[in-house]
Structure 1
Amino acid sequence: MSYLLVLGEREALAWVLREGRMAFPATRRHEVDRLAVGDELFLLTTRGCFHNPVRDRTRVIGRAVVSTRVEPLDPPLELVGRRFTRGCKLDIGVLAPYRTGVEVAPLVPKLDAFPRKDVWSIWLRRPLVSLGQHDVNLIWSRLRRVGRPVSEHLPTYLESIRPVAAPGR
């Protein structure tokens, strides 16, 4: 199976890239329950991921493969005010340069993953969006033009993503 892995917060993105893992909230989602070793994930950052939705666009920035089953996190992960209780390891192979990648909006008319083209972004409120082979081929054909081995761009991501200051600091 192949999915878009939706990342809507820069600190969460940095954690995923630094740790090579994905964490999921306690809310039960059938797509998370079905995730299996070998599944392909296209890392997607939302417009709000970097806290500037006017400038930023929803983009596919990388490609990973699930390398372990989704299992309980002990202890649970606390990140950006949210609690994550399950997770899996990822083998991240390809990453686009920082704040670039494949812009999703222009592809929406061609993507089967979004049945309602007028409200496509509503599907990005879940952690995983299932992709058919047509969508995988379309996204991968564009991502491989800009993506490079993760080691080339990972340092820039990790140096550029600063923690969000807590209120009152």
Structure 2
Amino acid sequence: MRSYLLVLGEREAVAWVLRQQQMAFPERRRTEVQRLEPGDELLIYTTRGCWHNPTRDRGRIIGRAYVTSPVSVLDKPVELAGRAFTSGCDIDVRTLVPYRTGVELAPLVGQLAAFPRKTAWSTRLRRPLLELPSSDAMLVRDQLAGQEVPAAEQLSSYLEAIKRA
């Protein structure tokens, strides 16, 4: 089992992922996407710009999901926020934190091996997935543990809030 940050930079994408229990990827081939396998852990990360107010919002890890199918080409591309996504996989979103909360990533960067360049760490998040070493995943899971609840308990609050925005 591998662990990844699943990077979501648009609230419409967050709603789609939570509602569909799927992840979709752009056409550009990325090694980390092709390596995804059922059982891999996805630590769901929303960027500062995801909620359309980057001066107020922080980049946060908001929950956990697990890959439940191999990545495959979609019969029909998914269009979200003006972008087309041509491949995808099924996921099981198991936990979420209350809406607009979560584990801030920036304060953890100094402790995470996935970000070797501590001054330009955010450039590593310009991709849909970032593989985490097991020690990084454990640190993030420990930070998340006090806030996360079963996804079913928070799902409607995310979908309602995103629909109103």
**Which residue matches 2:64?**
63
Q: Partner letter of residue 160 of structure 2? A: E
Q: Partner letter of residue 128 of structure 2? A: P
Question: CA–CA distance in 2 between the matches of 1:156 and 1:48?
Answer: 19
* 1:80 Cα deviation from its structure 2 partner: 1.1
| 1:62-104 CA-partner distances (Å, limit 9, x unpaired) | 1010000001111111111100000000011110100100000
Residue 49 (str. 1) matches residue 41 (str. 2):
no
Residue 73 (str. 1) matches residue 81 (str. 2):
no
Say whether the 8 Å CA contact 1:11–1:163 is kept in structure 2. no
Give the TM-score normalised by structure 1: 0.95
**Which residue matches 2:29?**
28
Residue 135 (str. 1) matches residue 155 (str. 2):
no
Question: CA–CA distance in 1 between the matches of 2:126 and 2:4?
Answer: 14
User: For structure 2, which runs of at least 5 residues remain unmatched after alignment?
Assistant: none
Question: CA–CA distance in 2 between the matches of 1:67 and 1:127?
Answer: 17
**Which residue matches 2:5?**
4
**Which residue matches 1:110?**
111
TM-aligned CA distance change 1:125 to 1:149, over 3 Å = same
* 1:162 Cα deviation from its structure 2 partner: 2.9
| 1:23-63 CA-partner distances (Å, limit 9, x unpaired) | 00001101001111110000000000000000000000010
Question: CA–CA distance in 2 between the matches of 1:163 and 1:125?
Answer: 27
- SS in structure 2 opposite 1:106? helix
Q: Partner letter of residue 108 of structure 2? A: L
Question: CA–CA distance in 1 between the matches of 2:164 and 2:13?
Answer: 10
Q: Partner letter of residue 73 of structure 2? A: P
Give the TM-score normalised by structure 2: 0.97
**Which residue matches 1:146?**
147
Q: Partner letter of residue 123 of structure 2? A: I
Question: CA–CA distance in 2 between the matches of 1:78 and 1:53?
Answer: 23
Question: CA–CA distance in 2 between the matches of 1:78 and 1:125?
Answer: 19
**Which residue matches 1:88?**
89
| 1:132-156 CA-partner distances (Å, limit 9, x unpaired) | 1110110000111100000111000
Cα RMSD between the aligned structures?
1.0
* 1:163 Cα deviation from its structure 2 partner: 7.7
Q: Partner letter of residue 154 of structure 1? A: L
| 1:95-126 CA-partner distances (Å, limit 9, x unpaired) | 01001000000000000110100011000101
Question: CA–CA distance in 1 between the matches of 2:36 and 2:69?
Answer: 10
